[in-house]
Amino acid sequence: MRTETDSMGTLHVPADRYWGAQTQRALQNFKIGDERLPRAAIWALGTIKQVVAQVNADLGSLETRLAEAISAAAQEVIDGTLDDHFPLRIWQTGSGTQTNMNVNEVIANRQMGSKHPIHPNDHVNKSQSTNDVFPTSIHLAMVRQMQTHLLPRLVALQEAFGEKVSEFAEIVKIGRTHLMDATPLTLGHEFSAYAQQLTAAEQRITASLPHLCELPIGGTAVGTGLNTHPDYTARVVARLSETTGYELQRAPNAFEALACRDAVVSASGALKTLAVALFKIANDIRWLASGPRCGLGELQLPEMEPGSSIMPGKVNPTQCEAVTMVCAQVMGNDTTLTFAGANGALQLNVFMPVIAYNALQSIQLLGDACESFRVNCVEGIVPNREIIGRHLSESLMLVTALAPHIGYDKAAKVAQHAHEQGCTLREAAVAMEVLTGEAFDELVVPGDMTRPNLG
């Protein structure tokens, strides 16, 4: 152990860790749960510390040798080589001060023993407050994870469904509304709805990015920019843009940017909408694949693993179930984020660690789920043409094609007769002397019922 000191006194800290007294104090004071900030958030904090040190040196606010040492240590934070030195849980102060100081202390103590010691507050945290650094890290981490993790996987899933639309374009099947037989459509039509849902979800997520790219950095404690150089904010944002490759901007109003997390709440809403879409899609697919003998059985899913510890030979729609559980988690995360976003108190939102955790978890889970669902399920879906054809031929709702020719009421009686007698619609129409068999065959063509057919 070694002794570290902060404004509250001295503490013993593990000798093989770079954190200091404030981190150690937080470990003792917040023994709650085991949820830690995701790696993307630590990456973002390291990136901010590195850029700020470089800008402070450029502006003459920090000695070059100190800035270079801070930048070198921050690069290790960015690269993940110091991840074991960030032990704090998210259940701490609502501003994230303990985590910000954890990063400051690790970067400062990385130079332990140097002739030019670095101070976590005076040097690493120079021109900053947790109140502007932590929300900036949330925005930066979300932008990165959306761009590099979620959106590529979402687009790939959408494209996989698009390929199925073409592959299934000519397979006519029965539709279902209210879980009851309805008029025909093609399997391609059915899958086109899924592809469109994902396209719309991708557009909503992409639309949320510009607001997330507006950074609170430079507002320091309450939005005024106290203890910063007049050119500081513009230079930090410009260098962050250059470093990350994202088109970042300073927040149009620093006071709003510290007090509110509306951009994150809005982005979470887009993530929730994707979760809603994925839930519906995965649920549909497991319904359509149910069976194999006593369900709908119209789709065959890849058989990935045994499904039961007691029933030999059972195979379950496990990928669909995993996706729907992810969706439930993301919907719950959004509820927490909505409540947390509403808890801006005057000049500061004080729910930021849980905001960061939930937003980044949702992005990670959705990206992972899209990839797993595509690779392990969607790409391997094949239609069971025999069952699809049987369901189509047995459906009473083909009678809808007769309504324009014999009227709704008479068509309904044909359907009711077929249902009561257990016969086909054709047999019912002939028995009731409504139509000849030849006339029925001319009017009831399932393929013609998948598109506008009058006029």
Active site residues: 178, 308
Cβ–Cβ contacts within 10 Å for residue 180, how many? 9
Q: Nearest to residue 246, comparing CAs of 214, 271, 217, 216?
A: 214
- Do the Cβ atoms of 446 and 391 come closer than 8 Å? no
- Do the Cβ atoms of 138 and 352 come closer than 8 Å? yes
Q: Cis ω on the peptide bond leading into residue 292 (within 30° of 0)?
A: yes
DSSP summary character for residue 36: B
Q: How many whole angstroms separate alpha carbon 82 and alpha carbon 109?
A: 12
DSSP summary character for residue 337: H
Output the CA angle 181-184-188, nearest 5 degrees: 120
DSSP H helices, 289-407, are 318-341, 352-376, 385-394, 403-406
CA distances from 42 to 174, 306, 348 (A): 51, 39, 21
Q: Nearest to residue 303, comparing CAs of 326, 319, 279?
A: 319
Q: Which two tokens stand for residue 45?
A: 């904090």
Q: Nearest to residue 290, comparing CAs of 320, 313, 311?
A: 320
